[in-house]
Amino acid sequence: MKGLSSFEHVLEERIDQATALELLEKADLAVLGYLADQVRRRFHPDNVVTFVIDRNVNYTNVCVAGCKFCAFQRKPSSPEGYVLDTEEILKKVQELVDWGGTTLLMQGGLNPNLPLKFYTDLLREIKKHFPMVQIHSFSAPEIVYLAKIEGLTIEEVIKALKDAGLDSIPGGGAEILSQEVRSFLSPGKCTVEQWEEVHRTAHKLGLTSTATMMFGHIEKPEHIVEHLERVRRIQDETGGFTAFIPWTFKKGNTMLDHIEEASSVYYLKVLALSRIYLDNFKNIQSSHVTQTMQVGIVGLHFGANDLGSVMMEENVISSTNYKVSIPKVEDMVSAIRSAGFVPAQRDTYYNIIRVF
């Protein structure tokens, strides 16, 4: 492993893919953490760590994508398949508002029985009843699939969703942005180029989005670096990403259960590399959902300035064997303080709502 003296130059200049790969494969864990922490301090000298109060509503589990890592999906013919009706979703949003939440994250499967009108009608109803709620919903695979079944362009679909009330697009469905990995992992989902097109188009139309990465399965270190390069390039050109959010694959009821999950040490290395490489992203999120809160707050010393969300609901990762622990607001505040940071609640756009 290489020490700090071998990598101090990364604090002075934008690093290339070769340097990133060397950092991931050869740098000492403590060195990566130190470098990432220095970069974080540049972006956030006030030592504030943010979180959002949101609700993750999975409106359908019916999906034709067949991703090998997913335990949530059900085939269209499955008796376990469901679609939430509008009234049930509105009830969930009311509970979110009553709880002090600001962000609604709706994601679902690629359901061939749901036309674009289902989505636009739903968005209008939510905005009519809850105009203050920020709708951060529908990932790139969902949008690409809608364009396919409706015979529309990606831009036409995003415009229709935006006109109906969509505020922001989550980065889900990225997994690893390398077609080599994607062709095996999720062959029924949108391509790397289509994922990019959704986010570029959203940014062009005035919507923000997040970028994500789900790793710790079949990818190699060079695929992680390729992913980081792709999202950095998009951000250079559009500036539309609000944050980058890496998390790890969790097994249980998936087609990849034979794979050994990534260690917390590897997670922290990838998190730190993300902070160092993505020099045009203001916000990097640490994942307490897949890593536990104990590791999540360690991630705040490895480049992250955000601890994700206090979620009212989580169904996808919970479909595996992994036990998801959802913190309350006071738990999140206490955890951030215990790590030596100032806790603050934010909204979808990373605007501070209140400091604790």
What backbone torsions phi and psi does residue 67 show, to the nearest 5 degrees?
Answer: -65, 135
The C-alpha atoms of residue 67 and residue 254 are separated, in whole angstroms, by 9
Structure tokens at 257: 């259960």
Distance CA 348, CA 321 (A): 29
Distance CA 345, CA 310 (A): 10
Backbone angles phi, psi at 195, to 5 degrees: -60, -45
Map 225-258 to HEC letters. Answer: HHHHHHHHHHHHHHCCEEEEEEEECCCCCCCCCC
Helix, coil or strand: residue 303: coil
The Cα–Cα gap between 55 and 57 comes to 6
Q: Is 69 marked as a binding-site residue? A: yes
63 is annotated as contributing to ligand binding? yes
105 token code pair: 């994250």
Tell me whether residue 151 is exposed, middle or buried, using C-beta atoms within 10 angstroms of its C-beta: 0 to 12, 13 to 18, 19 or more: exposed
Of 178, 281, 263, the closest CA to residue 227 belongs to 178
Residue 190 counted as an annotated binding residue: no
3-state SS assignment for residue 145: helix
Cβ count within 10 A of residue 177: 24
- Alpha-carbon gap, residue 92 to 296, rounded angstroms: 27
Does residue 183 have a known ligand-binding role?
no
Q: Which of 252, 233, 138 is nearest to 190 (CA)?
A: 138
Q: Is 356 part of any known ligand binding site?
A: no
As a dihedral over the C-alpha atoms of residue 267, residue 273, residue 278, residue 279, rounded to 10 degrees, the angle is 140
* 67 known member of a binding site: yes
Q: Residue 63, Cβ neighbours under 10 Å: how many?
A: 25
d(CA 15, CA 295): 27
Residue ranges of the binding site for (3R)-3-methyl-D-ornithine: 139, 287, 309
Residue ranges of the binding site for [4Fe-4S] cluster: 63, 67, 70
Residue ranges of the binding site for S-adenosyl-L-methionine: 69, 175
Residue ranges of the binding site: 63, 67, 69-70, 139, 175, 287, 309
